Chains A and B, each alone.
Chain A
């Protein structure tokens, strides 16, 4: 065992600190990966998994601490990382969909020059595919567009493991099995073992704990930008992993309003894609959507909203309002003033015969400015003159100012400072008490614990419903990570 640990390191990050504004994404992380080992990396949303991956592959530079490749500390960046044999398979597919498989190999391997690159690329990827997924049946001359999602993922994995001039020393796999079936996933894991046995290194991120436990030599657990556990896989099991990811501090008690359920739900939806549980929300309830990010929560909110909102005619009375999480993508209107951003969803109530009543608009704006404390001297200022937290408050005010009885929230507190959060929580509670319902997708455990009832998502479907006292970090974690075949 000691001999194994003594082997030379491929990548070492020591004391890495990185903050985005006030948010400490990494708070002194040590992560050493040596040749011939597979390291499993687990943690809940916001633990810092993807940030440390981006530091290792050169995409982000740490503000403190050092990253060394093969013991060398000189140089940092994508090129250095690539030259040191670090390869990365990202969660979103990064192939060019309009090119064939071997043309994608050409793009990924700039050093594959010469006249017959096409056949060499083909040979390379074919050999690698055959090695990882024997009997795969993928036609490497076909366009990526024509492949199924699973096949695309297999191709991307194969390209990353294929060695040309620089053989891969460390391959980072971020949820590599997310679209593979059990058989392919098993082949993948078996190949990782072979690759590691031949002296390669793998950093494996997965929400399937069984995979991690059976494949990794060592498991690193992250929480709040720190490594909270770094132990041999043989010393851990699914339960101890979930416990390690959870908060050490005793859970606080929250006051939950006992909801007397009215006869019928204000909003409901059958199980997504015919799997899992159905969704329901009642009057005055705060319903949380939990689980790891990207497992179908945002899609559920969009489906709910778009199915009840006309695209051709203005809806006479809006049932739903939406608070965006990704402000720049689907929230703010950057050219507009704060006031216009705030009132865009309530224009119909503010106008008579399609003409907007400016006096009423100003009154509404000022009312919300005071109620929700938007910190600006003048509502006529550009929305982008506000800090992120205050922009988010404007988006909240936009939704709350409408007459909608239900408000959908798509992880709206991402990157918002603590003070603002507390203020918004207060408003949510009082609005809920007066009969509004909130559907709240959040990646933060503290917020999930504020909810009356929680649906946990995994792989696009609702896998658990927790209510009242059962809404605990431990239960949410247990439902977010599937135990997998081992455990």
Chain B
């Protein structure tokens, strides 16, 4: 029984998460409890949502460099408008999602490099966030707070939410017709076009979906932190890209894996805790993340080579 390439793609992220988790438990057995797990994966939910958003963009062969500032912007809106007057907040979010869709269309129609357009947008979102919340503050809407801090029996909320996110996006992206079209547009635009689909609509929908997940990420983040500031999620641009890659996604060709992406995000969230358990000085934490990224990419290259050799045999 040969393994399909999508299964192979899931092996590395799942294995690295398992190894990392085992190492953490070994070094800090107390982490193996409800509260311990809750603490370890505390920030995983917003990172997972942002990673899924980035993944949808990467499915159509683009890259979103504005993810971090956009999530920050959403967090600021959540802590202010959405809390004070939910109607206005929802309208703002709808507008932001529409802006994402428009971005997807413009990039395709004018054949612009996504990196530069989203870079420009990152200034715009950052500026809007500063305007809304010039200094750290705001309050989380009660329901968001309740949702993120609720304590379901047996399994901590962070893990329940991650599983829900993974399954929901897996269904949407890997199982539904809509997901097939998005991935098809990343794999072979010409054949999608030839079969009579509108690529513009597909891309607009993909970008809008990404915007939607990023909005959820902002709400979840505020639910955890209770307040927001304009720079709250700047790291998310890099974290989300790294999460997709760790999870077995690729930059081109529509090859992505939602479950892998969520696992990748969990791994990144855990890596921070792991490095502090390892007593690695905080100085090297970012560096270790870079090194992990490089090692995973090297491992993937090695596996791909192996697979190719097997195939040509």
Residues of A within 8 A of B (CB): 78-79, 82, 94-99, 103-104, 106-110, 113, 117-118, 141-143, 145-146, 148
Contacts and interface: CB of A to CB of B under 8 A. Distances in A.
A107 B180 contact: yes
Nearest to B307: A146
B203 interface: no
Given A98-B253, A107-B184, A107-B192, 12 more contacts: A78-B194, A79-B196, A94-B190, A94-B194, A96-B183, A98-B186, A98-B254, A99-B254, A106-B177, A107-B195, A113-B177, A146-B5
Interface in B1-57: 2, 4-6
B311 interface: yes
B311 A94 contact: no
B196 A99 contact: no
Q: How large is the interface on B (under 10, 10 to 19, 20 to 34, 35 or more residues)?
A: 20 to 34
A97 B183 CA distance: 10
Nearest to A92: B190
Contacts of B311: 148
Kindly list the 7 A-B residue pairs having the minimum CB-CB distance in the complex, ordered from nearest: A96-B187, A98-B187, A96-B188, A94-B191, A98-B254, A96-B184, A103-B180
A142 B2 CA distance: 10
Interface in B165-198: 175, 177, 180-181, 183-184, 186-188, 190-192, 194-197
Contacts of A148: 311
Interface of B: 2, 4-6, 175, 177, 180-181, 183-184, 186-188, 190-192, 194-197, 253-255, 311
Nearest to A141: B4
Nearest to B252: A98
A106 B195 CA distance: 10
B142 to A, nearest CB: 37
A233 B61 CA distance: 48
A110 B194 CA distance: 11
21 contacts: A78-B194, A95-B188, A96-B183, A96-B184, A96-B191, A96-B254, A98-B184, A98-B255, A99-B187, A104-B184, A106-B180, A107-B180, A107-B181, A107-B197, A108-B191, A108-B195, A110-B195, A141-B4, A143-B6, A145-B5, A146-B5
Contacts of A98: 183-184, 186-187, 253-255
Contacts of A141: 4
A79 B191 CA distance: 14
A193 B12 CA distance: 48
A97 B186 CA distance: 10
A153 to B, nearest CB: 14
A108 B190 CA distance: 11
Contacts of B180: 99, 103, 106-107
Contacts of B2: 146
B175 A94 contact: no
A110 B180 CA distance: 12
Contacts of A108: 191, 195
B183 A99 contact: yes
A103 B184 contact: yes
B89 to A, nearest CB: 34
Contacts of B187: 96-99
Contacts of B4: 141-143, 146
Contacts of A117: 177
Contacts of A142: 4
Contacts of A103: 180, 183-184
A96 B181 CA distance: 10
A89 to B, nearest CB: 12
Contacts of A97: 187-188, 253
A148 B310 CA distance: 12
Name, among B180, B196, B255, the residue most crowded by chain A CB atoms within 10 Å (CB to CB): B180
A140 to B, nearest CB: 12
B258 to A, nearest CB: 14
Contacts of A109: 195
A339 to B, nearest CB: 28
Name, among A79, A94, A113, the residue most crowded by chain B CB atoms within 10 Å (CB to CB): A94
Contacts of B192: 96, 107
A103 B255 CA distance: 14
Contacts of B188: 94-97
Name, among B177, B192, B197, B311, the residue most crowded by chain A CB atoms within 10 Å (CB to CB): B177
A228 B6 CA distance: 51
Contacts of A95: 188, 191
B193 to A, nearest CB: 9
A118 B181 CA distance: 13
A110 B311 CA distance: 32
Contacts of B196: 78-79, 82, 110
A476 B184 CA distance: 41
Nearest to A82: B196
